[in-house]
């Protein structure tokens, strides 16, 4: 494929097709501010290795990245504690919902992987380390801004506060894991870090820019700076492929065949190694909490570019 594909036309066509799609799924309603987002929104950003950027639809509108932040938090935490992190979090798909608690009982409070809520809460606990929550939150924000090369990225405090007020299941996960010794700080401090990271507000363009290191063996192709080692980038991509869509990860691999990470805000970050960093956003979700049209758009992108890993 390569030279003959017209990516700008493909991206524009997909956005037009998504604008006309009848079944858009339903926005998440368990985090109140997310329920108010217009389900007709759709954005897509495709950034190639050389920095060429193809945008369509609402690609510059910021949305709540939610669980996509788990990729950046994991990257940062691996930088802090290295492979010791894997003593506290596994690398297997859970086959369960993103917020499930059941496996923790038989598995001694060690979450299956860093992309389910329990695993990401452990990662947030690692990022908290010896800091105050606001310092850990500030570090994550600075990291994401540096990755994207964009200092305008912010955390939506209303979203973070809504989750602090309603996130009882996450509080249960944190407290339960604390009883096994796998959360080292009072649950509310760790959850403060986790909820603020989930409340990062980014556009498709900013998200695709931030994900560039994953398509380029760990180096940011914009700056040449090595963000993580080649091995770590490969492993993060492997986890995105196997665990990035929770109990829908198999279906995402089946339909799209790329490492991808979804969030309940309706965004998906997908990586075509050596080719492109892609972000899509449409707030309506499918039954497993992954963006309905975001997945469809990526499926069509891969069909037309031949970018599947398989």
Q: Reduce the DSSP state of residue 152 to 3 states and report it.
A: coil
Nearest to 286 by CA among 257, 252, 254, 309: 252
Tell me the two tokens of residue 254.
């089946």
Active site residue 70: yes
User: Would the annotation count 67 as a binding residue?
Assistant: yes
* Residue in the shown chain whose Cβ atom is closest to ligand DON: 67
Catalytic-labelled residue, pool 46, 70, 100, 256: 70
CB of 6 to ligand DON, least distance (A): 32
43 vs 265, which CB is nearer to ligand DON?
265
Catalytic-labelled residue, pool 123, 264, 271, 278: 264
Instruction: Please name the residue that has the structure tokens 């449409």.
Output: 282
User: Would the annotation count 249 as a binding residue?
Assistant: no
Tell me the two tokens of residue 191.
């959850």
The rounded distance, in Å, linking the Cα atoms of 244 and 247 is 9
55 vs 65, which CB is nearer to ligand DON?
65
Active site residue 102: no
**88: Cα separation from own chain's centroid:** 20
117 vs 140, which CB is nearer to ligand DON?
117
The rounded distance, in Å, linking the Cα atoms of 155 and 137 is 9
User: Would the annotation count 194 as a binding residue?
Assistant: yes
Active site residue 261: no
Q: With b meaning 16 or more CB within 10 Å and e meaning fewer, what string describes 147-171?
A: bbeeeebebbeebbebbbeebeebb
Instruction: Please name the residue that has the structure tokens 């997909």.
Output: 14
295 vs 305, which CB is nearer to ligand DON?
295
114 vs 289, which CB is nearer to ligand DON?
289
User: Would the annotation count 176 as a binding residue?
Assistant: no
Q: Crossing angle of helices 187-198/157-166, nearest 10°?
A: 140
Return residues touching ligand DON (CB under 6 A). Answer: 66-67, 98-99, 117, 163, 170, 198, 262-264, 289-290
122 within 8 A of 177, measured Cβ to Cβ: yes
Measuring CA to CA, how many Å separate 259 from each of 12, 86, 127, 166? 23, 20, 24, 30
Active site residue 67: yes
The rounded distance, in Å, linking the Cα atoms of 144 and 211 is 9
Catalytic-labelled residue, pool 64, 246, 280, 291: 246
Which residues are CB-neighbours of 222 under 8 A, at least 6 positions away?
51, 149, 209, 212
- In the annotated binding site, the residues are 67, 117, 163, 170, 194, 246, 264
- In the annotated binding site for substrate, the residues are 67, 117, 163, 170, 194, 246, 264
């Amino acid at each position: 494929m390569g030279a003959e594909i017209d990516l700008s036309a493909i991206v524009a066509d997909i956005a037009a097709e998504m604008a006309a799609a009848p079944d858009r799924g339903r926005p998440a309603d368990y985090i109140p501010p997310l329920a108010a987002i217009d389900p007709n929104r759709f954005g897509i950003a495709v950034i190639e290795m050389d920095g060429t950027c193809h945008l369509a639809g609402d690609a510059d509108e910021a949305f709540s990245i939610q669980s996509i932040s788990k990729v950046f938090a994991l990257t940062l935490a691996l930088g802090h504690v290295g492979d010791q992190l894997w003593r506290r979090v596994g690398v297997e798909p859970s086959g369960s919902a993103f917020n499930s608690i059941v496996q923790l009982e038989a598995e001694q409070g060690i979450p299956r992987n860093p992309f389910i809520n329990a695993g990401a809460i452990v990662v947030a606990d690692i990022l908290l380390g010896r800091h105050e929550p606001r310092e850990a939150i500030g570090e994550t924000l600075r990291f994401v801004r540096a990755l994207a090369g964009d200092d305008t990225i912010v955390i939506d405090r209303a979203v973070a506060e809504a989750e602090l007020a309603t996130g009882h299941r996450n509080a249960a996960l944190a407290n339960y894991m604390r009883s096994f010794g796998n959360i080292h700080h009072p649950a509310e401090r760790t959850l403060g870090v986790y909820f603020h990271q989930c409340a990062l507000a980014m556009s498709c363009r900013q998200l695709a820019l931030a994900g560039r290191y994953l398509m380029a063996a760990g180096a940011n192709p914009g700056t040449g700076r090595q963000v993580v080692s080649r091995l770590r980038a490969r492993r993060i991509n492997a986890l995105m492929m196997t665990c990035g869509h929770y109990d829908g990860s198999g279906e995402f691999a089946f339909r799209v065949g790329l490492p991808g990470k979804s969030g309940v805000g309706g965004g998906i970050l997908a990586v075509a190694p050596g080719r492109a960093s892609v972000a899509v956003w449409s707030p309506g979700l499918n039954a497993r909490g992954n963006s309905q049209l975001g997945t469809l758009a990526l499926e069509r992108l891969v069909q037309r570019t031949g970018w599947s890993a398989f």
